[in-house]
Amino acid sequence: MDRWTSTGLVALVIAVAVSASTSSATPSPPGGIVEGRTTVNGHAVEFLDVRLADVGVRIGLADGQPGHISALDAIARRYHALAAINGGDFEAYGSLPLRNPNHTMITGGGFIFKGDVGDVLWFDAQNRGSIDRIPLKIEGSLDERWTFPNNWYAYWINRYPAGTQETITIFTPDWGERTGLSGGPQVQVADGVVTAINTSSTIIPRHGYVVYFRGESKAAAHFAVGRRASFRIVRGDGQSLGAFANAREAIGCGPRLITNGRVTVDPAAEGFRDPKILYASAARSAVGLTRDGRLILATSDGTIRQMADVMLRLGASDAMALDGGASSGLWYRGRYLTAPGRLLNNALLIVPKYLR
């Protein structure tokens, strides 16, 4: 089974009117990002049409760390981006010190967060993109044994453990130098070996991670200093990860809008329950792939189903929704095309080719 283991740019501005009965092919010059404004079924649309062969794609985090929030333009500038659109859903409300993302994120080939709802837009080392429904789970081993009593599991990667519910969470160096959490046990693993077990904020090794336990005492009891420990991320449905095992950048959200050139909107089937997603009209962001290697970033308003129509008219063969409402934002070369109404947790970035 495939698995992920622990061990010059030209800009054009074009305005195109698109009606319900017409379609439009946006010209895309070599090496270019095309900025466009259009109307689809009465809904104003701002979009960027990006030739993937001539740019890089990165997942950007507020302040460069999971759980932080900042302005979309600040995220873009941090990563020297040419363009940016808001990313996946996150815990935008409440008083927690950190705002957890809700969907899978990968950057530089490493998992930042594991989600289990919606779809994932991902890119390989050649910047080829795909959108897939990929349910994931985390499996662990002790002394290279993956069966009881030496196997273990985790619910999350880099998720702030709010509330009092039991959890097992892996914190990687992307989280920071320390877990910043009290309680535990907190199992420190460096270079594949358990090096310490603490009940206070624990250093996250540069070449390792910390497994944080709240409750789950039986699982925690199997860890001991000196034992070898590892984890892997596999599909929760037992299928092979396939090409996704080689993902370099990935961002999850959804629901799916278009599959192979057809509208395929079914939020409930993907695990979405929020009425804002199921049927409400709101500000929307979406991302799509075309059959000829372009990436489309778009913002508009309406229902999820109406956003699918937008992406279809813009030429996407596959598309999914991103976070919407006050999160919806699109930024290009120093200015907002659509300004978000709040600080954001993560973003999908277009960077110069040399940075990919």
Domain boundaries, the chain: 8-131+246-355, 136-233
* Residue 189 identity: V
Residue 4 has what pLDDT?
Answer: 57
- Structure tokens given for 234: 């596999």
Q: Strand 156-157 and strand 167-171: pairing?
A: parallel
Residue 145 has what pLDDT?
Answer: 97
Distance, CA of 200 to chain centre: 30
**In sequence order, what are the beta bridge partners of 319?**
258, 288
Q: Check if CATH label 1.10.3470 holds for domain 136-233.
A: no
Tens digits of pLDDT across the chain (356 residues): 455 555 433 333 333 334 443 434 444 444 489 999 999 999 999 999 999 999 999 999 999 999 999 999 999 999 999 999 999 999 998 888 899 999 999 999 999 999 888 899 999 999 999 999 999 999 999 999 999 999 999 999 999 998 889 999 999 999 999 999 999 999 999 999 999 999 999 999 999 999 999 999 899 999 999 999 999 999 999 999 999 999 999 999 989 999 999 999 988 888 888 887 777 899 999 999 999 999 999 999 999 999 999 999 999 999 999 999 999 999 999 999 999 999 999 999 999 998 87
- Structure tokens given for 84: 């940016």
Residue 5 has what pLDDT?
Answer: 54
The Cα 85–Cα 338 span in angstroms is: 9
